[in-house]
Amino acid sequence: MNPVLRIEDLRIETTGEAPRTLVDGVTLQVDRGESLGVVGESGSGKSLTVLAALGLLPAGTRIAAGRILLDETVLVDTEADIWMRERELRGLRGRTAAMVFQDPMSSLDPLRAVGAQVAAAVRVHQPMSRRAARERAVELLTAVGVRDAAERAAARPHQWSGGMRQRAMIAMAIAHDPLLLIADEPTTALDVTVQAQVMDLLAEVRERTGSALVLITHDLGLVAENSDRLAVMHHGRVVETGVTRAVLDNPAEDYTKRLMAAIPAESERSASAVRPGEPDALVADGVVVEYRVHGRRQPVRAVDGVSLRIAAGETVAVVGESGCGKSSLAKAVLGVQPAAAGSIELGGVAVHNELAARSAAERERAQIVFQDPYSALDPRLTVHDLVAEPLRIRHAYDRGTVTRLLADVGLDEQHGARLPAQLSGGQRQRVGIARALALRPRLLVLDEPVSALDVSIQAQVLELLDALQREHGLGYLFISHDLGVVRSIADRVVVMQEGRIVEEAPTAEIFTSPKHPFTRQLLDAVPRLDGARRGAHPLPVS
């Protein structure tokens, strides 16, 4: 087989007077039509390695040694002093190799219509009129499952759900049928059915064009289903490589074994922390959430008459595809988005539907822990000040309270003096949890709280959330697309589809005896570590 990508003895360093090695002696090869999975925790060097292959290393880093060839074209050869110019690299990106990034929101221009951005990607390597490019963009968006693509193409990225934005990124990446697709955590922010559809789409493109795939992820189930070979990276080195099934069945290295041991077990929560007799943390009855959309006379109904109860000490998971209304429901509970109809009680107290009408005390009864601990914290504030900020706003600051909150999440005063950039992802999420607890809420909305974390860190954060819930009697509204995590932490599961609840039951019942066809579809789409192929998942309109 002819290799599409060959990386030989690559070393990447930071720039400056005291360079630090980030990638050390990495050698990888991907043949035509082959899929290579690259796994490892954050900081292992997996993303840097493939970014170097496209000449996209971030500022402050450089290739110190090694050789990179793309479709037999030498991009870098430090020994021969060969460095392809940026202009030539731009000619290869998108045509020979294309990349799908993890966060579509940061990859898309927020000021331009999505369709215009897809059309621009089409015109980069195909001379054509603007009209023809727009028509091709609509075709591509339709191909990746965007409903009413011609109409929705005029919308800005913030008007699309996370899953839809990622579909747009896939559409741009496949516009020129490249020989190599590099997917860097392409499904991290997506629900399992959309995740399955995206991976099926990438597989279809590869089958049609014979292209290769490099799949960078921390999800071992995903690589088990979607890669032929697997490379495990740790501290900038490839510590294990081989046929995917062989590596997963019989890992030779301790690090690979630790990664596999950190995967959530297929078992339900052992015991509930529900506190009978206390007011429910949340009572929502007939909640309706609507949005005005440019170009439409009638508002879009994102949440359609949802009723939900969460007891003190109980965890209720809300699952469903992107755009099903679970995040809109959470916004209504938090008061970020007013409900058009229905009622909401927090800790036994009715709260106003209108954001402006909610008192400070009402807003304090529910707090949120965000998905991305890297963007959720002000980089200019120390950890102490981040946790203290809500207390200062309420004129309730006390240094001892901040110290106690940090201790509750496993951090000490030394951590309090640091900036977020000096913390690991898991530590940052602990800060986010401490900050959310500062005003002693009755309900925590946990919006994908571990999806941006590596599996070993996920386990630590989930254990922390369980301990805090048992200590404080918190109710958790847990929004997640990771059904393995849901199974291990939730007491009950609520399944949403098109703004409505289609099934609600105890966790064990949902996973062993699902009643609704959509619930069964969600469970069928969960990536399996044994690599057993799921059924076909045709892209639904979205």
Q: What is the DSSP string of 335-383?
A: TSS--SEEEEEETTEEE-SSTTT--HHHHHTEEEE-S-TTTSS-TTS-H
Provide, rounded to the nearest whole percent, the portion of the chain with pLDDT above 70: 95
- Is 164 in contact with 146 (CB distance < 8 Å)? yes
Torsion angles phi and psi, residue 505, rounded to 5:
-165, 165
- Tokens standing for 88? 């030539």
Handedness of CA 165, 459, 374, 406 (dihedral sign): positive
DSSP state of 158: G
Give the Cα separation of 304 and 309 in Å (integer).
Answer: 16
Q: Which two tokens stand for residue 256?
A: 């690979």
- Say whether pLDDT at 356 is over 70: no
pLDDT digits (tens, 9 = 90+) for 86-96: 989 988 888 88
**Would you say residue 221 has pLDDT above 80?**
yes
CA separation (Å) from 461 to 99, 140, 302, 469, 489?
30, 39, 30, 12, 11
Query: How far apart are alpha carbons 398 and 92 in whole angstroms?
Result: 57
Q: How far is CA 278 from CA 83, 200, 309, 348, 437, in A?
A: 67, 47, 13, 9, 19
List, as one string, the DSSP characters of 459-506.
HHHHHHHHHHHHHHT-EEEEE-S-HHHHHHH-SEEEEEETTEEEEEEE
Specify the DSSP element, H or E, that contains 7: strand 3-14
220 φ, ψ (degrees, to nearest 5): -70, -30
What structural domains and CATH numbers belong to the chain?
3-111+180-261 (3.40.50.300)
How far apart, in whole angstroms, are the C-alpha atoms of residue 477 and residue 465?
12
Q: Is the pLDDT of residue 407 over 50?
A: yes
Cβ atoms within 10 Å, residue 439: 18
Residue 532: which pLDDT band, with cuts at 50, 70 and 90?
low
Which tokens sit at 39? 């796994």
Distance CA 307, CA 194 (A): 25
Burial of 304 (0-12, 13-18, 19+ CB in 10 A): middle
pLDDT at 209 over 90: no
pLDDT tens-digit series, residues 241-273 = 999 999 999 999 999 998 888 777 666 666 777
Q: Which two tokens stand for residue 404?
A: 């106690």
- Separation of alpha carbons 447 and 336, rounded Å: 14
b/e code 110-136 from CB counts within 10 Å (16+ = b) = eeebbbbbbbebbbbbeeeeeeebbeb
pLDDT of 385 reads 96
Tokens at residue 24, please? Answer: 């050390």
**Mean pLDDT for the stretch of residues 378-396:** 93
Distance CA 305, CA 286 (A): 4
Give the residue-averaged pLDDT of 426-449.
92
pLDDT at 539 over 50: no
- Average pLDDT (140-168) is 85
Find the mean pLDDT for residues 132-136. 93
pLDDT at 479: 94
- Per-residue pLDDT at 426: 83
Q: Could you give the CA distance from residue 130 to residue 473 in angstroms, rounded to a whole number?
A: 58
Exposed e or buried b for every residue in 224-238, given b needs 16+ CB within 10 A? bbbbbbbbbbbebbb
Please provide residue 340's backbone torsions phi and psi, each rounded to the nearest 5 degrees. -75, -25
Cα–Cα distance measured from residue 394 to residue 362, given in angstroms and rounded to the nearest whole number: 13
pTM of the model: 0.78
Closest by CA to 503, choosing from 519, 488, 526, 482, is: 519
Choice among 33-42, 447-456, 533-542 with the minimum mean pLDDT:
533-542
Tens digit of pLDDT for each residue in 281-329?
999 999 999 988 777 788 889 999 999 999 999 999 999 987 789 989 9
Contacts of 437 (CB under 8 A, 6+ apart): 367, 405, 408, 409, 444, 468, 472
Q: Which of 203-212, 217-226, 235-244 has the highest mean pLDDT?
A: 235-244
* Rg from Cα positions in the chain: 24
Q: How confident is the model at residue 374 (pLDDT cuts 50, 70, 90)?
A: confident
State the DSSP string of 105-121. HHHS-TTS-HHHHHHHH
- On the question of pLDDT at 62 being above 50, the answer is yes
Token pair for 14: 């930071």
DSSP label of 93: B
Determine the average pLDDT of the residues in 201-215: 85
3-state secondary structure 37-92: EEECCCCCCHHHHHHHHCCCCCCCEEEEEEEEEECCEEEEECCCCEECCHHHHHHH
Instruction: Give the angle 364-366-371 at the CA atoms, nearest 5°.
Output: 120
Tell me the per-residue pLDDT of 107-131, one tens digit each, with 9 for 90 and over. Answer: 889 999 999 999 999 998 888 899 9
Task: State the DSSP H helix or E strand holding residue 201, giving kind and residue range, or none if neither.
Answer: helix 192-209
254-261 vs 455-472: helix crossing angle, rounded to 10: 40
Distance, CA of 406 to CA of 267 (rounded, Å): 30
**Across-strand partners of 70?**
5, 73
pLDDT tens digits along 375-386: 889 999 999 999
Q: What is the pLDDT of residue 482?
A: 86
Closest to 445 in 3D by CA, of 407, 470, 476: 476
Crossing angle for the helix pair 517-524 and 192-209, to the nearest 10 degrees = 60
- CA 518, distance to chain mean position in Å, is 22
